[in-house]
Structure 1
C-alpha cells in the first residue's frame, strides 16, 4: 500500500483527507507482510491547518518517507498527524492526550507486523507516552530526533513491558541545547532526555561529537559536520543523517554494534545547560540565524 496518512484528534483516529473509516485501511495493512514504520511530527505542525500540515511538508514523499525507505513495497509507512499548535505547554499536554490514539494504531498490527517509530521534537513525548498502553513486543525500534521529552517519562516508559522489549535511539546534538533548555523551562519536570538515559536498551547518539562522527563514518554512515551553533532540525536535515536514521529503523545498523562502536557520552542529568549562562541577546542571535526567515521546519 502507498503511504497511509492518519490523524489523531479528540474524535479518535481518521484518514487524512478522506471520510472513509480508518478501520478498513488498517485491517488491509495488517493483513499484509513486512514492517510498519510510523512517523510522528513535532511542535507547530497540525494536519487540521492547511499551512501547517505535516502531510504536505515533512511527510511529503521527498520529505521523510523516501530517505527513510518507507516508500519501498515491503514497508508500510504511516504518517501520524496531530494538533501540535498553541503554546508549548498546551502542545505538550496534547501530545500526552494523543498517546492513547498512537497506541491504538500500533496495537492494530499486534502479532501480524513489526512496528517501528520515528519522531521529532514533541513527537518523542507522544511516542514514549504511548508505551505504557502497549504490550511486550508491540514496538521493535524507536528513533527519536532531537526529542522534547522528560527523563522521568522516558525512564517510566522504557521500563513498561512494551518499553523493555524495544530498542530506542536518541539522535541529538549540542545544536539542540537551546531547545532542550526552553523545553525544561516552559514545561518543567525531570529534565530533557538530551541529558542522557540510564536504560541499557536506550542509546543517545551525539551527531556533533567528532569521535562519534568518525565511528559512524567507519561504519559506512558519514555525516556532515554541524552547520549551525543552534539547530533543532539537524537530526533529520544534516547531510547523511537520514541514511543513519533509516539504518537505525530497519535494523541494518544493530543496536549492539553501534553501542560497542561509538564512544560513551557524559551523563548530563545533573549538569547545567551551557547555554543558560550565555547572554540572552546572544542566544536569540544564534536562534534567529539558525532558523532563518523562511525556515521549513517546525519548533
Structure 2
C-alpha cells in the first residue's frame, strides 16, 4: 500500500498559488501512483529527492514494527526505542519552499537474517524502478540513505536503476559484503553514483555476525570498505578521531561519546544528520574531491573499539 502525506505550502514566487509537497510512504510491493510523477515534475529547481531505507527487523505490514511509524515517520511514535525522525533530520516537514521530496521506502525485513538479506535484493530492484521514473520526471538524480540491510537495498538498486538516476548515496553501517558492493559499483548506475560509506568499529560485532551467518567465514563485510579505491566511493569511520576533527572543521561538529558496541550510532549520534542533510540535499556544497581531501578515509582495525582501554569521564559504554 502506498500512502501520500501531503503538506500544502506556498510556491517560491508566491504567485503560483499553492503547491503540494509530499512526504511519500512507499512499500516495495506498491505501485507508484500517477500523482507522484506530477509532484516530481513540479519540484522547484534544486529541490532534492531523497529515498530513505530502513534496515533489519522492520515490516510495514506489522504495526508494532512499521518503519512508517518509527524512523521513517515525520512524527514517530513517542514510546519507540532508538527513534529519530529521518525525514525531519533531513530537512523535511518544514513547510518551506524547496524542501524537496522525501521517499520513505518500506520493505519486509523480518524473519531469519538470510531471508531478509534475500528480500533486500528484491526490494532494491523494486526501488530502482521507482527511482528511475522519478529521476526522469524531475530531471534530477535521486539521493539515497539506508541503514544496515537498507544499505544492501540501496546498493542492489544500482543493478537495476537507469544510469544517472541515482546521485549520491549514504550507507549507514551497511549489512552487505565487499564483493557484492563492488559488483554494484561496476553497474552502469553504480559508475555514475557517489557513495559515502559510513562505518564504525562500534559495529564490529554486527559485521562479524553477517560474515559468519551469511558469508560462512568466506566473505568480508562492508565495514572494511571496498577492496580497491574508487573515485566515487569514500569511507567515513564515524568513531575515528581524525574523521570527527575533519567534520568539525567542515562545520559539522559531532558528539564524541565513545561506545564499545552499537549498530545504530550512524543515525542516533548527535550532529551526524546535519552532515547527511547537506551531503544529500546540497551535494554541490560537499563535492567528492573536497571530501576526499579533507577526510582521513582510513578504517581502524576490527575490535579496536571493543578492546579499547577504559576511557575517563564515564568510559566507553554499550
| Band the TM-score falls in, shorter-chain normalisation | 0.7 to 0.9
Shift of 1:8: 1.1
* 1:142 lines up with 2:169 in the alignment: yes
Could you say which residue in structure 2 is the equivalent of 1:32?
Answer: 42
CA distance in 2, matches of 1:221, 1:35: 20
| Cα distance in 2, alignment partners of residues 52 and 103 from structure 1 | 24
1:267 to partner: Cα distance: 8.1
1:118-137 matched pairs, under 5 angstroms: 118-137=145-164
How does the TM-score come out when normalised to structure 1? Answer: 0.84
Secondary structure (helix, strand or coil) at the match of 2:120 reads helix
8 A Cα contact 2:173 2:200, kept in partner: yes
Instruction: Answer yes or no: is the 8 Å Cα contact 1:30–1:113 preserved in 2.
Output: no
**CA shift in 2, pair 1:164/1:267, >3 Å:** farther
Q: Out of 41, 48, 60, which is 1:47 matched to?
A: 60
Query: Per-residue displacement from partner, 1:99-136 (whole Å, max 9, x unpaired)?
Result: 21011110112332321000000001111111111222
TM-score w.r.t. the length of structure 2 is 0.79
Runs (4 or more) in structure 1 with deviation over 3 Å come to 70-73
Which residue is 2:295 aligned to? Answer: 262
Structure with larger Rg: 2
Which runs of no fewer than 5 residues in structure 1 stay unpaired? 15-21, 279-288, 291-299
- Larger helix fraction of residues: 1
Query: What whole-Å deviation, never above 9, does each CA across 1:130-175 have from its counterpart, x for those lacking one?
Result: 1111222111100011111111111011111111111000112111
**CA–CA separation in structure 1 for the residues paired with 2:22 and 2:135:** 20
Q: Offset at 1:186?
A: 1.2
Query: Would you say the 8 A contact 1:106–1:115 is kept in 2?
Result: yes
- Provide the alpha-carbon RMSD of the alignment: 1.9
For structure 2, list consecutive stretches of 5 or more residues without a partner in the other structure: 1-20, 76-84, 308-316
> How many residues get paired?
265
User: Structure 2: how far apart are the matches of 1:35 and 1:85?
Assistant: 30
Q: Does the 8 A contact of 2:234 with 2:297 survive in 1? A: no
